[in-house]
Structure 1
Amino acid sequence: MRWSGLAAFTLGLAVATAAAAQSGPPIRIGVLSDLGGGFADVSGPGSVLAAKMAAEDYRAKHPGRAVEVISGDHQNKADVGSTIARRWVDTEGVDLIIDVPNSAVALAVSEIVKNANRTFLVTGGVSSALTGAQCSPNTVHYSIDTWTMANVPTQALVQQGGKTWFYVSADYAFGHDMQRQSTRALESAGGKVVGSVNYPLNTMDYSSFLLQAQASRADVIALAAANGDFVNAMKQAVEFNLTGGEQKVVGLAVYISDIVSLTSKVAKGAVVTNNWYWDLNDETREFTARFSKRFNGKVPTSLQAGAYAAVYNFLAAADEAKTSSDGRAVVAKMKARPNLDPIFGESTIRADGRRTSPVYVWSVKDPTPEKKFDLYQPIRTVPVAEAYRPLAEGNCPLVTAAK
């Protein structure tokens, strides 16, 4: 009887201890996004939903472990985003911040997260500086960056005869970085910049900028514009009869939500470079069906899919690292382990924090009656070695330290 009682007590203590470990303080995830501005369609509320779906899938396998997802609107202002990020990590116990479309905000948040030793998984911002000179041991870049967005389509267009370029670029970190990266790719491929102009974020009138581009007689008018800005600029380019003529108008950062807004009638033939598409395979289609059911029938963008994958892999790495609050430990684990999620498959994370997975080039086509969002026709799969900036060229201190 004494042995039975002791065994029962020991078993009960073990169960209680395991339950306490399982139930511990919740893992807190903050989705810092643009919830109502120009980036809302491409990330915004959809990225919040994707993060919640990843947390739900995790909790289904770990029913005793609490995960909370909260959200904040940075309003495309670095000071607003920084204030939210500081509050989250200093007083609200947030372990992970994700998304952050708007490169200026993302770069500010990366520094805050590093100082607080939390984790930052960039699924919305695209500045290549995040894995370059401003890389961090606490940051992983999930979305493709300005280097990829600039180099892959620029080289392809030069090969097709687009030798002279005029840039219409957003006047903030993203636009400047995109134009700089594209210019390097253009010149290395034998092309030439004949002019450029910067426009203010969220402007509604692109007429003077587009007329300058038209007057330049450049082969290619490159829009280093994102989301709502790209859509509005492209619509006005059509009004000025800039499309379909001798000059080619191209967007360097284009997402499926942009094409849906423009319609294939306007965007047909446009070249799109990205690392994910909803109709890529059975797994992406299954995720899309779940997502669309909860998001007014819309298909996820690559940034929203990235939000799911980032949370999914963060939670797996935090389990293995046995911590969610030590950002350096979690990111080190993410770099060391194979990152495998249901919708991107297997990917790797380099020393500079660059997550690498296949990159694809598509052209926009008319949808089929059965699939109104089937808007992409594949052109090529870009090898990983070609799709991302070479590790040695980014000037990331983490790469230097690893040698």
Structure 2
Amino acid sequence: MDDLLRIDDRLDGDQRLIRDTVKSFVDDRILPYVGDWFEEAVFPARELAPVLGELGLLGMHLSGYGCAGTDATSYGVACRELEAGDSGLRSFVSVQGSLAMFPIWKYGSEEQKSEWLPQMAAGQAIGCFGLTEPDHGSDPSGMRTYAKKDGSDWILNGAKMWITNGSIADVAVVWAQTDEGIRGFVVPTTTPGFSAPEIHKKLSLRASVTSSLYFDDVRLPGSAVLPEVVGLRGPLSCLSEARFGILWGVVGAARACLEAAVSYAQSRVQFGKPIGGFQLTQEKIAWMYVGLAQASLTALHLGSLKDAGVLRPQQVSFGKLANVRAALDIAREARSVLGGNGITLEYPVIRHMTNLESVLTYEGTQEIHLLTLGKALTGLDAFR
């Protein structure tokens, strides 16, 4: 499909190389199988993680400790191409790099960084991020998971929910209330008292591992705490990192849906000619491309701001809100172009459409981002 606005012309040579490398990986290793993974509700993380590590995609926007140290736009381009394969694949990479590796890299001790980051960058260790709880999603300040000092150790109790990679992780970055405020803890998943049952019966993100985390008197050494941050600033900064990947990634999902719709409209014949030759179908395709191009330009602009070191959380909220909404609209319209075939896994559209229902909610619901923008624009806090 032709990129009428030639948006990718603004990418530099390294960014285009990353684009083409990740696209080839997705074409060869993901697209032939992901429909079956989705139907069977499996994701071969242990098989794929070392390959993703070898490609330099895990923690790629971080520097040192075996990480690739790319710029933010390169990371965004990679997320776009990964999510053109499946949102579950991009979620795995986002959680590993932006939610599990980033807090260790940003707030961890040298010992924590040296122990975990090289393994995670290589895909030899898998991480997860424990913030959301069964009763506290949009308002993490009310979390009940609690860590109490016991001599030089910490005793961790509580539960987390909707945790990507939870039951396959080797290490969890867990946020908990303490007498000092909210702190982050690096928790090896082999620690006694830790458990992570997988959540089943999902109708979205089926090619992704989603779990609950339970902590039953989990004893951690003093060295487990992230020493460089106290309070919600820590987990919220991680969410901003991950949301940046999302606002790029959903452009890939939207593009995949539009490409499927265009291809189908060119070959599906009704009333004596391809349905792409009818005005109503062309109107749908034209509006889908307008939405895709606008989302692409938003992602590219926010990537430029992040590379310049001036990207603000409110701007990330704008990108996450606008681009996920655009991608979901495109997926739904593409499904209508495919008619009855739009609900089968022979085409990628219904898979992307149901996945995007989860992406709409996680890393901040639509309502949370709307209120974030409202506060930025009015100066008035509507959260409380």
TM-score band by shorter chain is under 0.3
Q: Which has the higher helix share?
A: 2
**Under a length normalisation based on structure 2, what TM-score does the superposition of the two structures give?**
0.28
Question: Normalization by structure 1: what TM-score?
Answer: 0.27
- Per residue, is there more strand in 1 or in 2? 1
Task: Say which one has the larger Rg.
Answer: 1
